Amino acid sequence: ALVPQAVAQALGLRPDGARPLTDVLADYLRPRCVLLVLDNCEHLVDSCAQLAEWLLHACPELRILASSRESLNIAGEACFVVPSMATPDPRRLPPLKSLNEVEAVRLFVERASAIQPTFLLNEQNAPAVARICQQLDGIPLALELAAARVRVLTPEQIAARLDDRFHLLTSGSRTALPRQQTLRALIDWSYDLLSEPERTLFRRMSIFAGGCTLDAAETVCAGGDISADDVLELLTSLTDKSLVFVEEAAGEANFQRLETIRQYALEKFLETGEVEAVRDRHLDFFVALAEQAEPELTGPAQQMWTARLEREQENIRAALRWAEARDPLAGVRIVSALRWFWDAHEHYVDACDWLARVVEREEIGLPPRARARALSVLAFLSIARYDIAHTEALANEADRACRKVDDTRGLALSLLTQGITANIQGERTASETLLLDSLDMYRALCDRAGQVDVLLGLGANVIGHRDFIRARGYLEAALALCRELGHLAGIAQCLQGLGSLALRHGDLMLAEQWLNQSTAALRVITAQDISSSSELLGELAYWQGNYTEARARFQESLRLSEELGHQLTATWATIRLGYVEMQQGNIQAARAVFRQSMVELRKRNVPVGVVFAVEGMAALAEIEGQPERAAQLLAWADTMRSEIDDPRPPVEQDAVNRMVTRLANSLGERSFAEAQATSRAMTAEEAIRLALLHAVADNSTMDAFALD
């Protein structure tokens, strides 16, 4: 009765005691062309639906606009979902003018300016304003309440306090409805209208940090008065009430919530006595998911599973946080199962940090077998950080631990890591021995994906030897296995290895063909790392004399590898950018790159990298009119390359030969020989000190260390 009375009052109609009020309304509206607005129907949705259906049937010219947090669900209803305001990405801010045109930002700035007339969006506060808009999900009331705080807080302070948004965002307009005066009251209004089973599911779903699939919700949220069969119906109801929304991904519904709604639900959830049980089910679900994904990550369904795991990253992080305190063994199972995924994505940093904590804390008490496996995975993932001494120590410890518990798979991975670190340090014979031992173990385990990893390592090792025939054999064997498996990322890595091989052999045309195929294949796989391919394509462009293209490729590689935390690739991209700077006449920039690289790589015990940076300083010395120093540095580099068995690729050696000829002509044969003789016995530290001594004689841009 309340709804018809409210409509009658708005229309100025009085009840007729002889007839139902709905008939009075129908008689009045029937001859008229009218738009009737029913606002905030959710608290009386059944009454609103009944009245709307009756009036629409009785009044052909009537149109009704209803606002509600759920549809009226009547015939002829057309639903329009009002989305939150558009928000910016704080990680990729547009120019200030464009940022000010984003809906959420514009509302925040307007309300903040009304509260504090001196407030302006500027370069300093723009990142904080963007974070506020994103963290508040573009909810207008939340933005208005946040803007009201500029009277006493800066945008930076507001953004920093949004983890406790329900205490921060209060004190709305005194003339507003009570439910619109605080953020908590706004959501309380919707929560109070839910049935008890809906409230239970609403609370339990807060355990999911990044949304969830239906099977996840059924597994994790069922329990007590809610069965797994009830979950779909309850999810549908929460979706209808605008407390959950659905996004489709790879043909599967993914149930999401605004972060503000999730935080409210989490507060309610933490007040219950079921937190541990639900978190345990959440952890169990993601252990099972990770172990289901493991074989798929090196098979034909790789792309689908990679995308699925990307979407689940926040949930996996949450599961690992709970596992660290509750069940570390379960966490080790997750990280171990997802080794291939971690290795190719930026999330490997999370995995490394988590594993490091659980293996270092004795009070956790990992079982010996789990600790051995954790060490082997940690050592392998640490390679990308390029702290070679630390990685080597971890791999050695993992080797011992795996042998103690007879973990063949963990030992095979440890030997692979030891082989890779030995190769990086120029110990190529030892590297090959370790890698062959690892290969034998993976073959005994019938683990073709593991064999691929080792064959790629062997290919890289013998490319360093310049044994191109054997290198091609290893890489083609790996490629054949990848094709058997349908291992798309592995195929791309093999093509990349073949491209590197062709590049080192001096076949630039074939190198370009392989590398372009590799990059195209990697781009197909969601979020797959293409930084190494970009670095090699930059190297190719450099030797083709296209320095502009080379710079673009190296910069792309550097950006991607830094985003992923792959220090190994970032280091090589940086050094090669130094060579580009030199060729384009930016001598000071080139020197800064080589100086930093020499010192850093010496600390990391990467002699191959130190030598390459010293060779860059030798080329600079020649450009700067210091042929004696150039000859000394080049002679030391030759000696070191011989010691670590790292001959230059033909394309680089040709350039060095031309440089040697120029230096000999400049100094004279005798002086050139004397300069070289004095430096061959220098230590790495002495060579670096010599390289750091510079006195620019002129600013010529001689084409040193490049193709004629």
- Give yes or no for residue 312 having a pLDDT over 70: yes
| CA pair distance 89, 91, nearest whole angstrom | 5
Instruction: Say whether pLDDT at 53 is over 70.
Output: yes
**Residue 527 confidence (pLDDT):** 47
Q: What domain range is 671 assigned to?
A: 547-692
pLDDT value at residue 491: 94
Q: Is the pLDDT of residue 708 over 50?
A: no
The pLDDT score that the predictor gives to residue 529 is 65
Q: Is the pLDDT of residue 445 over 90?
A: yes
User: What's the CATH code of the domain at 618?
Assistant: 1.25.40
299 and 224: one domain? no
**pTM across the whole model:** 0.81
Q: Are residues 553 and 679 in the same domain?
A: yes
What is the tens place of the pLDDT at every residue in 618-659? 999 999 999 999 999 999 999 999 888 888 888 889 999 999
DSSP letter at 118? Answer: T
Nearest to 377 by CA among 405, 348, 406: 348
Q: Is residue 653 part of a domain?
A: yes
Q: What percent of the chain has pLDDT over 70?
A: 95
Better-predicted residue by pLDDT, 528 or 507:
507
Residues 168 and 211 in one domain: no
- The amino acid at 520: A
Contacts of 345 (CB under 8 A, 6+ apart): 310, 527, 528, 529, 564
Boundary (domain end) residue, out of 145, 161, 184: 184
3-state secondary structure 636-693: HHHHHHHHCCCCCCHHHHHHHHHHHHHHHHHHCHHHHHHHHHHHCCCCHHHHHHHHHC
Residue 695, pLDDT above cutoff 80: no
**Residue 255 shares a structural domain with residue 175:** no
- The pLDDT assigned to 176 comes to 47
Distance CA 410, CA 221 (A): 35
Count of domains observed in the chain: 5
Note whether 235 and 113 are same-domain residues.
Answer: no
pLDDT at 171 over 90: no
Query: Can you give 194-234 as a three-state secondary structure string?
Result: CCHHHHHHHHHHHHCCCCEEHHHHHHHHCECCECHHHHHHH
Say whether both 278 and 266 belong to one domain.
no
- What's the pLDDT tens digit per position in 109-123? 999 999 899 999 999
Q: Is residue 524 part of a domain?
A: no
The predicted-structure confidence for 547-574, as pLDDT tens digits, reads as follows 999 999 999 999 988 887 788 888 899 9
pLDDT in tens, 399-427: 999 999 999 999 999 999 999 999 988 88
Which residues, other chains included, contact 217 with Cβ-Cβ below 8 Å and sequence gap of 6+?
201, 205, 208, 231, 235, 255
Give the helix/strand (H/E) hosting 471.
Answer: helix 468-485
Cβ atoms of 190 and 200 within 8 Å: the answer is: no
Q: Are 658 and 578 in a shared domain?
A: yes
pLDDT digits (tens, 9 = 90+) for 210-222: 899 999 999 999 9
Q: Are residues 261 and 282 in the same domain?
A: no
Residue where a domain terminates, one of 344, 366, 388: 366
Query: Are residues 232 and 297 part of one domain?
Result: no
Average pLDDT over all residues of the chain: 90
Query: Which pLDDT does position 346 carry in this prediction?
Result: 66
Q: Is residue 624 part of a domain?
A: yes
More confident residue, 371 or 1: 371
For tokens 């903040």, the residue is 112
pLDDT of residue 170: 74
